């Protein structure tokens, strides 16, 4: 490859890796498997090594993880939280071991390596002062992470106070146990929601919730694997090895990584890595590799580190297990938003510790691109070792009887014509090609109704205990509910007559329905199942608009002013609230006593009464939403647009058009430091003379 083509390929890879890194680290919604991401990363590393003149300090290969979320307070780590270099074969691992020995050969000391599992979770640091937990933070980009202290404290295995009054910081990996992950995904599937791709993303999404109560429900756990700073001993004694560090951390009450072995010979190390790989499906937590480290801490100091990775450790990444089986059929499932998802019906096969008979095919584009046909011998694997997916067909095994799959023209549930998210038309406006997600747009589709109501009643939405998929199905079959509003007209007498219900169960369910009326407008908005709108978006929207009724007159531009609400999300909301059936539904829910208004807390003072503030740009100590709430507590009004009536604009980093508009109108502008002074009681007149 010449330099011109290499530059083009490097540019493409960097763009693609940055996109997937943002999806993985910041949004917890990966689109590709870890293995596929690793291969993209490896290819970029190879090209940058081959063409060093094209390397750049801003390349993803020199970065760690992702940036901190704007929704959470940022934390600067006292010790940088590096990532590890990856190796993908025993040859590469042996090369690392040999290179390390060569670099330490002048020390004339024994060189020992430890082997331990690489937990597939979210890396965090825990800081204790005088034995008391004071800070929990995510890794972020290695330098700046997110303050998740309140959520960290919900993890039962993390000690709130150590048995000794030590000041220190340790590093660990928060993970979601397999059984919790599987139960959570089962709930999501029943509610017609998008499944978590793997336990790592489920753990990350759970730990970064704004409400600690929601994190507590996810039953996260943690393994501590490193000492970052401070002192592990009262007398200041420093551990001499990784083994000693782990043992000391364990005595302080932390769950620690089990070291599989400590060895100096390649065959012992490789054997431990291989043995771990064979047993990984039996472990209570997900792992995606084995970590091999130099044991002696002073030897680590001699080896040092690169800009983003230590030279004294590597992660051996296990390839995903793949199996051959036969594709018997392709079944269509209708989700709560009307999306038709093709699922492969397979001859049962043992894969990653479980029996697999169904696998996702995502959408029609995947089937076409991979030329997957009914009757094919196919390769299946588990994305993230959890969710089965069809990788490709084995074309060489075809006998001629295979059938090309054609998506149905009509919804298999209601018979209405389906539409595609992507369509190409000719000069006569006739459809000549269809792509993307297939969707049934019939609001009365039975399959959608069932999944919408399951979602409405689910824990994350209205939280109606006892109204799971089976009960919802039973209520629909008996013509007791046809919409979410019907739920609030059910009586104990009606429910008691249902099969396997009984008077006590009926009473419990009606009580749960009554309690759900107070779930709040954000959970109601989420429960309505609007495409692209999750619970975080629902909370942000209601923080701005205050009540559900206001959304009937909200326009897309006003919604886009909300942090983390994009054009597609805004359009979904305006489209939904423009429907006459939405107005009817909300009216019926309100008449039933469902809370539509955000409970407003009384201002703590009126020092900013009569003042209107506009926030723009990125704040480092809080989100704009949090800053707005604090200003309201001082009696101020917070607006999303700058006008002649604006009293003051708060401008963070990368402030845009609102700052320009403020300057044009001569509106006073303050920075984040001045905002903090204002929030701590300093009069506005002293900040803006």
Question: Looking at 18, 42, 62, which one is the last position of a domain?
Answer: 62
Residue 424, pLDDT > 50, answer no
CA separation for the pair 134, 152 (Å, rounded)? 10
CA separation for the pair 405, 393 (Å, rounded)? 13
Residue 491 belongs to domain spanning: 446-516
Question: Looking at 440, 469, 500, which one is the last position of a domain?
Answer: 440
Q: What is the pLDDT, as a whole number, of residue 202?
A: 81
Both 245 and 284 in a single domain?
A: yes
Question: pLDDT band for position 113 (50/70/90)?
Answer: very high
Task: Let me know if residue 253 belongs to a domain.
Answer: yes
Token pair of 621 as six digits: 């100590």
Q: Are residues 112 and 259 in contact, defined by beta-carbon separation less than 8 angstroms?
A: no
Query: Which tens digit of pLDDT belongs to each residue from 211-254?
Result: 777 788 788 999 999 999 988 888 778 889 999 999 999 999 99
Q: What is the pLDDT, as a whole number, of residue 355?
A: 82
SS3 292: strand
Helix then strand then coil, % of the chain, to nearest 5: 40, 25, 40
Question: pLDDT band for position 574 (50/70/90)?
Answer: very high
Both 311 and 193 in a single domain?
A: yes
The residue that leads in pLDDT, 363 or 385, is 363
Residue with tokens 């940055």: 18
Both 49 and 33 in a single domain?
A: yes
Q: What is the pLDDT, as a whole number, of residue 427?
A: 43
Report the range of poorest mean pLDDT among 175-179, 313-317, 511-515, 599-603: 599-603
Residue 361's CB: how many other CB atoms inside 10 A?
Answer: 21
Beta bridge partners of 224: 172, 256
Task: Let me know if residue 155 belongs to a domain.
Answer: yes
Burial environment of residue 464 by CB neighbours within 10 A (0 to 12, 13 to 18, 19 or more): buried
Q: What CATH number should be reported for the domain holding residue 251?
A: 3.30.470.30
Token pair of 382 as six digits: 């588990």
Residue 428, pLDDT > 50, answer no
Task: Let me know if residue 496 belongs to a domain.
Answer: yes
CA separation for the pair 286, 218 (Å, rounded)? 16
Task: Let me know if residue 603 belongs to a domain.
Answer: no
Query: Which tens digit of pLDDT belongs to each residue from 525-557?
Result: 999 988 888 887 888 899 889 899 999 999 988
Q: Are residues 604 and 629 in contact, defined by beta-carbon separation less than 8 angstroms?
A: no
Both 127 and 254 in a single domain?
A: yes
Task: Let me know if residue 596 belongs to a domain.
Answer: no
Both 564 and 621 in a single domain?
A: no
Residue with tokens 């709560």: 336
Both 508 and 566 in a single domain?
A: no
Both 562 and 625 in a single domain?
A: no
Q: What is the pLDDT, as a whole number, of residue 156?
A: 87
Both 304 and 402 in a single domain?
A: no
| Nearest to 204, CA basis, from 160, 139, 294, 130 | 139
CA separation for the pair 411, 417 (Å, rounded)? 6
Both 396 and 264 in a single domain?
A: no
Q: What does each C-alpha distance from 204 to 20, 196, 387, 619 come to in angstroms?
A: 16, 11, 18, 22
Q: What is the pLDDT, as a whole number, of residue 295?
A: 95
Q: What is the pLDDT, as a whole number, of residue 433?
A: 45
User: Which residues are CB-neighbours of 183 under 8 A, at least 6 positions away?
Assistant: none
Both 429 and 462 in a single domain?
A: no
Catalytic residue among 118, 293, 632, 658: 118
The H helix count followed by the E strand count for the chain is 25, 24
Neighbouring C-alpha atoms within 13 Å toward the C-beta of 307: 9
Question: pLDDT band for position 293 (50/70/90)?
Answer: very high
Task: Let me know if residue 606 belongs to a domain.
Answer: no
Residue 73's CB: how many other CB atoms inside 10 A?
Answer: 19
Q: What CATH number should be reported for the domain holding residue 43?
A: 1.10.287.610
Beta bridge partners of 263: 113
Residue 376, pLDDT > 90, answer yes
Provide the number of structural domains found in the chain.
6
Token pair of 549 as six digits: 């009724």
- Give me the DSSP letters along 3-26: HHHHHHHHHHHHHHHHHHHIIIII
What is this structure's pTM? 0.55
CA separation for the pair 371, 278 (Å, rounded)? 32
- The answer to whether residue 265 is catalytic is no
Question: Looking at 419, 440, 461, which one is the last position of a domain?
Answer: 440
Task: Let me know if residue 82 belongs to a domain.
Answer: yes
In whole numbers, what is the pLDDT of the chain averaged over residues? 85
Token pair of 455 as six digits: 């979602």
Q: What is the pLDDT, as a whole number, of residue 255?
A: 92
Both 124 and 265 in a single domain?
A: yes
CA separation for the pair 515, 508 (Å, rounded)? 11
Task: Let me know if residue 368 belongs to a domain.
Answer: yes
CA separation for the pair 6, 12 (Å, rounded)? 10
Both 565 and 652 in a single domain?
A: no
Q: What CATH number should be reported for the domain holding residue 421?
A: 2.40.50.140
Question: pLDDT band for position 602 (50/70/90)?
Answer: low
Q: What CATH number should be reported for the domain holding residue 488?
A: 1.10.150.20
CA 377, distance to chain mean position in Å, is 33
């Amino acid at each position: 490859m010449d330099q011109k083509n290499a530059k083009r390929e490097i540019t493409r890879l960097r763009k693609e890796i940055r996109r997937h890194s943002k999806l993985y680290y910041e949004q917890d919604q990966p689109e590709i498997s870890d293995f596929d991401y690793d291969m993209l990363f490896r290819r970029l590393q190879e090209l940058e090594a081959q063409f060093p003149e094209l390397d750049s300090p801003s390349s993803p290969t020199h970065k760690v993880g992702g940036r901190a979320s704007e929704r959470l307070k940022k934390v600067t780590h006292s010790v940088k939280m590096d990532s590890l270099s990856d190796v993908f074969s025993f040859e590469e691992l042996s090369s690392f071991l040999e290179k390390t020995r060569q670099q330490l050969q002048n020390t004339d000391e024994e060189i020992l390596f430890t082997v331990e599992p690489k937990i597939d979770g979210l890396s965090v640091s825990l800081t204790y002062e005088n034995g008391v937990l004071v800070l929990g933070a995510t890794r972020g980009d290695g330098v700046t992470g997110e303050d998740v202290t309140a959520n960290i404290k919900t993890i039962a295995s993390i000690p709130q106070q150590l048995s000794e009054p030590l000041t220190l910081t340790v590093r660990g990996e928060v993970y979601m146990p397999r059984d919790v992950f599987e139960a959570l995904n089962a709930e999501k599937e029943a509610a017609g929601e998008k499944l978590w791709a793997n336990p790592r993303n489920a753990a990350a999404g759970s730990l970064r919730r704004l409400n600690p109560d929601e994190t507590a429900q996810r039953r996260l756990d943690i393994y501590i694997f490193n000492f970052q700073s401070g002192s592990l001993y009262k007398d200041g004694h420093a551990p001499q090895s990784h083994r000693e560090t782990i043992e000391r951390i364990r005595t302080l009450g932390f769950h620690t990584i089990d070291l599989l072995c400590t060895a100096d010979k390649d065959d012992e190390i490789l054997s431990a890595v291989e043995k771990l790989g064979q047993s990984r499906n039996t472990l209570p937590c997900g792992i995606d590799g084995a970590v091999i480290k130099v044991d002696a801490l002073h030897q680590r100091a001699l080896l040092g580190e690169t800009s983003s990775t230590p030279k004294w450790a590597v992660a051996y990444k296990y390839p995903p297990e793949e199996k051959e089986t036969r594709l018997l059929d392709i079944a269509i499932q209708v989700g709560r938003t009307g999306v038709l998802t093709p699922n492969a019906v397979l001859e049962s096969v043992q894969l990653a510790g479980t029996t697999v008979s169904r696998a996702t095919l995502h959408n029609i584009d995947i089937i076409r691109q991979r030329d997957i046909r009914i009757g094919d011998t196919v390769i299946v694997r588990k994305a993230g070792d959890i969710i089965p997916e069809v990788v490709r067909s084995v074309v060489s095994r075809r006998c001629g009887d295979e059938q090309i799959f054609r998506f149905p023209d009509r919804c298999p549930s209601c018979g209405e014509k389906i539409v595609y998210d992507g369509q190409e038309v000719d000069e006569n406006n006739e459809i000549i090609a269809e792509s993307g997600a297939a969707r049934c747009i019939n609001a009365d589709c039975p399959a959608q109704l069932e999944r919408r109501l399951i979602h409405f009643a689910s824990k994350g939405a209205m939280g109606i205990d006892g109204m799971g998929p089976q009960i919802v199905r039973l209520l629909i079959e008996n013509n007791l509910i046809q919409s979410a509003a019907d739920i609030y007209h059910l009586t104990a007498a009606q429910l008691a007559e249902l099969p396997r219900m009984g008077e006590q169960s009926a009473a419990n369910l009606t009580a749960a329905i009554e309690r759900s009326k107070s779930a709040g407008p954000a959970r109601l908005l989420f429960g309505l199942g609007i495409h692209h709108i999750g619970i975080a978006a629902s909370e942000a929207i209601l923080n701005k608009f205050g009540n559900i009724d206001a959304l009937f007159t909200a326009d897309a531009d006003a919604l886009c002013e909300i942090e983390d609400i994009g054009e597609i999300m805004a359009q979904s909301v305006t489209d939904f609230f423009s429907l006459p059936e939405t107005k009817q539904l909300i009216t019926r829910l309100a008449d039933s006593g469902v809370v539509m208004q955000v409970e407003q807390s009384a201002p703590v003072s009126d020092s900013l009464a009569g003042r209107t503030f506009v926030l723009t740009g990125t704040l480092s100590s809080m989100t704009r939403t949090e800053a707005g709430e604090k200003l309201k507590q001082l009696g101020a009004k917070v607006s999303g647009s700058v006008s002649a009536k604006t009293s003051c604009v708060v401008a963070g980093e990368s402030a845009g058009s609102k700052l320009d508009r403020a300057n044009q109108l001569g509106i006073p502008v303050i920075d984040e430091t001045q905002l903090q002074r204002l929030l701590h009681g300093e009069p506005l007149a002293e900040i803006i003379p």
